[in-house]
Structure 1
Amino acid sequence: MAKDETIIRCSALPAYMDCNRRAAAKLFQEEIEAAGYEVRQLAASVGSALGTSAHYGIEVVLTNKIYNGQLGSVEDACNAAVDKFSEEITDGVIWDDTTPSLNAAIVQLRRQVQAYMPMAALLDPKAVEISLSADVGDGFTLAGHIDILEHNGAIRDEKYGAREGQFWLQLGGYALLAKSAGHEVNSLNVDWIPRVGKTKHQPPVTTTTYPLQQSQTDAYQVIQRIKMDVQQFRKDPDRLYQSFPANPMSMLCSDKYCPAHGTEFCNAWKYQAAKPKEEDFPV
């Protein structure tokens, strides 16, 4: 990968279509700051730390299955996940209403890993947690990290969030990368293992299968849009709405989720109704 190439990450494709500017602030932070803007560094969230940790627990047992022919134990997966979580929160973490404490996090993490183990036992993994990249022209590189690639050509992505999202663009990007690396791809699947409060019953895994061809086509179109937007930004960094349009209607338009919120790189968040003051209503 050339040093001067611009990286487009598959995981950013869905977010880019929700708000171009928020996604750009994460994807291209160094270039944006070099142009004279300052974007915020977001604190690590407990949801992200839990997702990373659960992924690692499943990676450990599936790797064992690849090399030894047997899935590791539930306890192996849970212990690996908990150890990883401890590493992830070393520098601090932002708790939320679903996971307000360390105790709740450990309970939820173990339950989510346990919930995925029956699915893991059915899989026939060819590779897990593989990093791929491909040249997409004009100095841009598409990069992605595929959770599971099966021998039957199935790509699987594990999601451990509190809410189920739509990820066909991300999976479409993975398909493009896998095919460019010579892998057979026959299906795109997202396995969602919901994160719920520790007093609630852990729901089972649900799987969403996305249409292969449509997902690849849509991902390709978003990649081209990103390339065009970055090139426009480089021509005229001052005209942000011609390069990275903002979407203040996004559910993630807040200082908690957006590094551009409250900065000169974006003022769209300001366009909200002001609360009336007493002097506005003279007696």
Structure 2
Amino acid sequence: MTDDLRLPTAPPGVTPRRVLTIAGSDSGGGAGIQADMRTFALLGVHACVAVTAVTVQNTVGVQGFAEIAPETVAAQMHSVVTDIGVEAVKTGMLASAPIIEAVAAACADLGIGRDRPVPLVVDPVCASMHGDPLLAAEALDTLRSTLIPIATVVTPNLDEVRLITGIDVVDAGTERDAARALHRLGAQWALVKGGHLRTSTQSPDLLFDGEHWHEFVHPRIDTGHDHGAGDTLAAATAAALAHGYPVPEAIDFAKRWVTRGLEAAYPLGAGHGPVNPLWRVSDRPG
């Protein structure tokens, strides 16, 4: 682990680590595939993409989205993995039960997920930060029964925790209850992100594997510009896993990465600006 938040970078002409993101496109560029690819590039990782949906959104909300056919989502995964190969995979917006089922089936075919060669980070995107739905309500059962059980790590925020487990996290005790409930659904590791817990000046995240607890606490960044924070954390986690980091160390790296991005967040449009991983560019010598 490096103090300056850098992952090992392949020298020129050498193939870098590769990570596949399975997610929706954000037309405003703040979250989704766009946020994932920014993080991957700035961490020296080659990004591969399986697009699940095209959203119509800006800084004030999501006005609509169009799903990609499930068989096309799965075909993108097969095309990438069988030719390019990947060292980690993350999911974001999956939109519907048929897409979730197609992704889970492709993961089984391609050796992706817990107890398989390629780790899987499941960011269970259910709604935008504005409350606009990004997952059909009937797809929640499919998410619980099909995708979370094959996750190496699942990374919901508190709103997503409530939708998935029915537990309203309001303090440290209910945060532990939620982590246990997520782990019982089958995820190897369950991360409950406490960024939306407004009862503290800190941002506590809790990681659980059924036996061991890991807490990651950073100062809460006072900003209204946090669009894409969850995507960025999951992408940084996947990038670290691709380099062979154990899950707790990968989460620690990602938590510190997204904190720096929040510190550097900028205003955009009339609503919420994005988490800004471009701080890395300004930190480079010369």
TM-score above 0.5:
no
Q: Which of structures 1 and 2 has the bigger CA Rg?
A: 1
The structure with more helix, counted as a fraction of residues: 1
Question: How does the TM-score come out when normalised to structure 1?
Answer: 0.27
Question: How does the TM-score come out when normalised to structure 2?
Answer: 0.27
Between the two structures, name the one with larger relative contact order (CA 8 Å, sep ≥ 6): 1
